[in-house]
Structure 1
Amino acid sequence: MIFQQFGPSMSDIAYSRIAVRRADGVATVTIENPPVNVLDAALMGELRHFLLSVGEDDAIKVVVFESANPDFFIAHVDMALIDDPHAFDAIARDVPAGLNVFQALGELVRNLPQITIAKLAGIARGGGAEFVAACDMAFGAIGRAGLGQVEALMGIVPSGGAMQYLSTRMSRGRLLEVILGAGLFGAEEAAAYGWINRALPGNELDAFVGELARNIASLPDGVARAAKRVVPPADLMDGFAREEAEWGKLFANPAAERLIRGGLAQGAQTPDGEKRLEVILREIEAADAKPR
């Protein structure tokens, strides 16, 4: 089992980018990495530490992930990493062979013995959307939640499992639309495509997810874990290797650096810029494509 390759169990530490509360067999993880919850090395390290710890906790039956920021779940991987390519080296030393650090984070989520639920009230793009897709279930708030794989607008393809995870949830045509159309999907669209379980009115999301989590946690011991064993996650290792290889070739192209740096210069990773990130990246590409 992949989960067992990640290392020994660890108790929770004093986290600064996530908060964990436990009650009635449910662990709720609240993400708070201002200003927009980018997935940087510090946030990934805390999420990874928690996942390794909770995987060995038999008292926890369900894990719910949410955000303290009403506008953003996890914005995406930190674009500023283009200037710090070794930021994840310490984490990379501890992930299983055949996975990059972003794929390894998703696989930790996907292979937890507990049921995992993403409660999506804001935007999740790129690595944030991949994190949502790695969860067993996801629910989104109508008019507030958004999912997008924006990587194509940066001249690359996703490299954290998006194409592998979504291939188990939607048709090939819809998957290619998600990746190459690079649009932001609202909760109702995402539910129609199978990206999330269902879309709910924003004022009902907390109560619905809370009741579902408590109901699952109150089942007789062993039932939820047995269900995950009976419906095992697909073996996606070959796909992960293809994903990493294609991402590496595209990331080496000058277009990727130009688009990522341009996005940062135009407001990416700020609250206002993130609300229109696709527009920003398309405008950069359009401007660069004009004859000079």
Structure 2
Amino acid sequence: MIGTCKEPARLPATDRIDTMHLPEYSSLHVHITDGVATVALDHPPVNTLNGTMMLDLHDLLGRLRADDSTRVIVFESSHDEFFLAHVDFGIFDSYPALEAVKKDYPHVNVHQGIGELLRSQPQITIVKLAGIARAGGAEFVAAADMAFAGSERGKIAQSEVLLGILPGGGGTQYLLEKAGRNRTLEAVLGADLFDAETAALYGWINRAVPDAELDAFVARIAGNIAALDPGVIEGAKRAVPAADLTCGLNVEHDEWNRLVSGDAPAKKMKLALDRGLQSTGPEREFEGFLRRVAADI
């Protein structure tokens, strides 16, 4: 168990690396032009956040931290329906590989560490939400500096309680900071899929934009920020810093760890996978699907 409040999380130190020669990532497609890095998340069939993607994000964000020429990072999805479906149910098998970067997050868990990297990048981080983000995917959205969603296809949910657990990648703390306690409790315990307009009303995302306009809108705001005079982004991020959420993140981890160690979550995950979860059909109706699974345990 990680325990109670500790010092603020320290981010991994990175030597300056030529980002023109980024490695080939198996789960990310990266294109950098005019100071904007566009990162497409790609783990078929439904874009689950697995150990490989976590390691790829850790590596990429570390490299970009040392690149003064990249001013904005835009995250999008390679999947038409899902931005990030949720953390992959096979993530426990990836724990040995994730040990390689665990040392970089001495005060939070590795999943929370990815969110903390997003929150503390020197660049502005923007999510373009043109599909569904649930659970770990919703945590990723909330960790970014800004998020803009398609008003028709953009949807978001913090749905871990349907497995008998709580968010474990920063979701309780990121949402609490953005939406307040009452709305956080509604999202976490209600486990409903929010449409983009409601998510914007709650402060979970910046705003909803018509789907047909989303690409152009995000490209415009990212390009305008990247074109600002040197030092402006850096100054703004110092003047409007990400809050130190280490204490709350530690409590979240401890509660997640307590719950996930029980028998019920493992049974629900196994039955859900046996019935086809992490394929497109069941993922479309994730909340109802998991409620039916829970009723059969």
Shorter-normalised TM-score: what interval? over 0.9
Q: Which residue of 1 aligns with 2:195?
A: 186
Q: Which residue of 2 aligns with 1:268?
A: 277
Task: Specify every segment of 5 or more residues in structure 1 that has no aligned partner in the other structure, as ranges.
Answer: none
Counterpart Cα distance in 2 of 1:149 and 1:103: 15
Give runs of aligned pairs for residues 1-292 of structure 1, distance below 5 A: 5-9=11-15, 10=17, 11=19, 12-82=22-92, 85-92=95-102, 94-288=103-297
| 1:191-224 deviation per Cα after TM superposition (whole angstroms, max 9, x unaligned) | 1110000001100000000000000111111111
Counterpart Cα distance in 2 of 1:139 and 1:50: 22
Counterpart Cα distance in 2 of 1:87 and 1:251: 20
Structure 1 residues 30, 2: closer, same or farther in 2, change over 3 A? farther
Counterpart Cα distance in 2 of 1:116 and 1:255: 36
User: Secondary structure at the residue paired with 2:204?
Assistant: coil
| 1:30-67 deviation per Cα after TM superposition (whole angstroms, max 9, x unaligned) | 11111111111111111111100011110011110001
Structure 1 residues 107, 274: closer, same or farther in 2, change over 3 A? same
Instruction: Provide the aligned length of Structure 1 versus Structure 2.
Output: 287
Counterpart Cα distance in 2 of 1:273 and 1:17: 22
User: Secondary structure at the residue paired with 1:168?
Assistant: helix
Deviation at 1:85, TM superposition (A): 5.0
Residue 187 of structure 1 aligns with an amino acid whose one-letter code is: A
Contact 1:38/1:77 (<8 A) preserved: yes
Counterpart Cα distance in 1 of 2:222 and 2:72: 6
Task: Specify every segment of 5 or more residues in structure 2 that has no aligned partner in the other structure, as ranges.
Answer: 1-6
Deviation at 1:80, TM superposition (A): 2.1
Residue 7 of structure 1 aligns with an amino acid whose one-letter code is: A
Counterpart Cα distance in 1 of 2:65 and 2:121: 6
Which deviates more from structure 2 when the two are superposed, residues 258-267 or residues 181-190?
Answer: 258-267
Counterpart Cα distance in 2 of 1:275 and 1:87: 30
Counterpart Cα distance in 1 of 2:194 and 2:269: 21
User: Secondary structure at the residue paired with 1:90?
Assistant: helix
User: Secondary structure at the residue paired with 1:16?
Assistant: coil
Counterpart Cα distance in 2 of 1:29 and 1:282: 33
Deviation at 1:249, TM superposition (A): 0.8
Contact 1:117/1:135 (<8 A) preserved: yes
Contact 2:276/2:282 (<8 A) preserved: yes
**TM-score, length-scaled by structure 1:** 0.94
Counterpart Cα distance in 1 of 2:129 and 2:67: 25
User: Secondary structure at the residue paired with 1:66?
Assistant: strand
